[in-house]
Structure 1
Amino acid sequence: MASEAITDKLIELSQVLVADDGLDATLGRVARLSTSLIDACDSCGVSLIRDGSVSTRAASDERADRIDDIQYSHGEGPCLQAIETGETVHVTSFAQEERWPQFIESALDEGIRASYSVPLRVEQNVVGSLNFYSIDGAFTDSDKQIGDVLASQAAVALHNARTFNEVLNLVDQLNEALASRDLIGQSKGILMANLSLGPDQAFDVLRRESQNRNVKLRDLAEQVVSGAVVIDGASVDSAP
């Protein structure tokens, strides 16, 4: 592929990485772009580690899905080795490859003749691999260089997705904290009005009732606000 065309495709990829389409759509586009950017690449799959096992998160076509699945089922293959070692794995000829015999036999049946697997790293941790498959022959140095760039971009997408999820979790935690504070404030107001208490006294009653009932303070406050629980003067009289 001419350098101008490669540049155009990489610009397209950079635009994809900032598009609001979600991680799966982004990785799917990376996989499909790989088959047009890399001359030797006919199929591409994105393998990711999730809950201790490896699965394909996105693929350019069904063949890539099948080749990846064959490796998972046999527990061997170039993509698994790339993930395990953190090193790129280039198989120049499946017909002459002696590693992973079960996988190789099945891959040859699928028409695959060569592969190039690149580990994906997020914050120095290997989280998967980008797997390029060829039905014609080995990947050239130029092919591998482009593959490395694509793997870096896929890793950026994964990092951004992780950061985004962390921010969402933080927002959820903050919203939960604010909601809890509001509920506790409302329940304190109810106790202050019903039992003629000050703010600190009302909070002490809530806290003590929470311990006595073995209920989280937020949950008790919600019950008080909804009227499901009524705290009467007896609770105040029993205060130490």
Structure 2
Amino acid sequence: MPTESSATELTAVFARVQSMLLSLEHATTAVHQLAQVAQHLIPSAAGAGVSLIAAQGTRTSTGATDGLVEAADTLQYDLGEGPCLTTWATATPQRINDITDDDRWPEWSAAAARAGIRSMLSVPLMFRDRCLGAMKVYATVVDAFTDHEEQQLCLLAAAAATLLGSAQTRDAPQRLSAALQAGMEDRQTIDRATGMLMEQRATDAEDAHAVLLTASRAQDRPMAEVARQILERHPDPQS
């Protein structure tokens, strides 16, 4: 069953992330490995990375898996525009399905397209209501990322943000463990609700997941909370 496979996959990823913090001295080293995990977890990604932005506005990039990511990030910093900067400024995910047909960041998009990028996904790194930067994946084909990939990257970003934000505190392992456990529980709840909607609406996993995402945004509530409501009361969130 797809939902069980997804839960198993994420469980393995989170276990690896937790061991990073427990065994690596520097959080930035673990973040670099998180970028590699993101690329591995999302097969359509040609590269992944983390953009960190200091409180005073200093922009830096770490955890890039390859030169494609570094080049795309450098373009954003040089031009002062791009999806990762917007993700940091608004604390919201940004997705580009076709970079040649997206006019939100015209200079960056044109330059990135020349570098071979065709689509990308960027999600915020949130720690205690503060956005530390963005985690992102790039692809060399259009329409590489769906709502499913966005949800997966958001969970990884939550772990990375906890890692970065609390690495200097004594309770960092406990904080990360709690965050990962909560993320895993949310993922399982979303997967179960997705399966229920697939049966109720006779649709596939992507459409069912889109129903959850639409309801989450319309109600301004976390997707996991909407999913829990479905499992408890069995309503159709769009009814």
Which band: TM-score by shorter chain? 0.5 to 0.7
Q: CA deviation at 1:57?
A: 2.1
Residues 46-85 of structure 1 correspond to what in structure 2 (within 5 A)?
46-50=50-54, 51-85=56-90
The amino acid of 2:28's aligned partner reads D
The amino acid of 1:135's aligned partner reads T
Within 2, Cα distance between the matches of 1:132 and 1:37? 11
Q: CA deviation at 1:8?
A: 2.3
The amino acid of 2:162's aligned partner reads V
Q: Deviations over 1:161-201 (max 9, x none)?
A: 2435xxxxxxxxxxxxxxxxxxxxxxxxxxxxxxxxxxxxx
With the length of structure 2 as denominator, give the TM-score of the two structures.
0.64
The corresponding residue for 1:141 is 147
Within 2, Cα distance between the matches of 1:64 and 1:23? 20
Number of equivalent positions? 166
In structure 1, runs of 5+ residues without a counterpart are: 165-240
The amino acid of 2:40's aligned partner reads S
Q: CA deviation at 1:151?
A: 0.4
Within 2, Cα distance between the matches of 1:80 and 1:87? 11
Which of 4, 11, 17 matches 1:7?
11
Q: Deviations over 1:93-140 (max 9, x none)?
A: 101101111101111112111111111122211111111111123201
The corresponding residue for 2:46 is 42
Which of 153, 164, 167 matches 1:161?
167
Q: CA deviation at 1:40?
A: 2.2
CA RMSD of aligned residues (A): 2.1
Within 2, Cα distance between the matches of 1:89 and 1:128? 13
In structure 2, runs of 5+ residues without a counterpart are: 171-239
With the length of structure 1 as denominator, give the TM-score of the two structures.
0.64
Within 1, Cα distance between the matches of 2:138 and 2:84? 11
The amino acid of 1:146's aligned partner reads Q
Q: Deviations over 1:61-100 (max 9, x none)?
A: 1211110010000000000000111111111110110111
Q: Deviations over 1:30-85 (max 9, x none)?
A: 01111100122221121111242211022111211110010000000000000111
Q: Assess if the C-alpha contact under 8 Å between 1:49 and 1:127 holds in 2.
A: yes
Work out the percentage of aligned pairs sharing the same amino acid.
29
Higher relative contact order (CA 8 A, sep 6+): 2
Q: CA deviation at 1:14?
A: 2.3
The corresponding residue for 2:183 is none
The amino acid of 1:71's aligned partner reads Q
Q: CA deviation at 1:7?
A: 3.3
Q: Assess if the C-alpha contact under 8 Å between 2:124 and 2:154 holds in 1.
A: no
- Looking at CA atoms only, which structure, 1 or 2, has the larger radius of gyration? 1
The corresponding residue for 2:156 is 150
Which of 95, 102, 105 matches 1:97?
102
Q: Assess if the C-alpha contact under 8 Å between 2:28 and 2:164 holds in 1.
A: no
Q: Assess if the C-alpha contact under 8 Å between 1:45 and 1:68 holds in 2.
A: no
Q: CA deviation at 1:12?
A: 1.5
Indicate yes or no: 2:83 matched with 1:112: no
Aligned with 2:134: secondary structure? strand
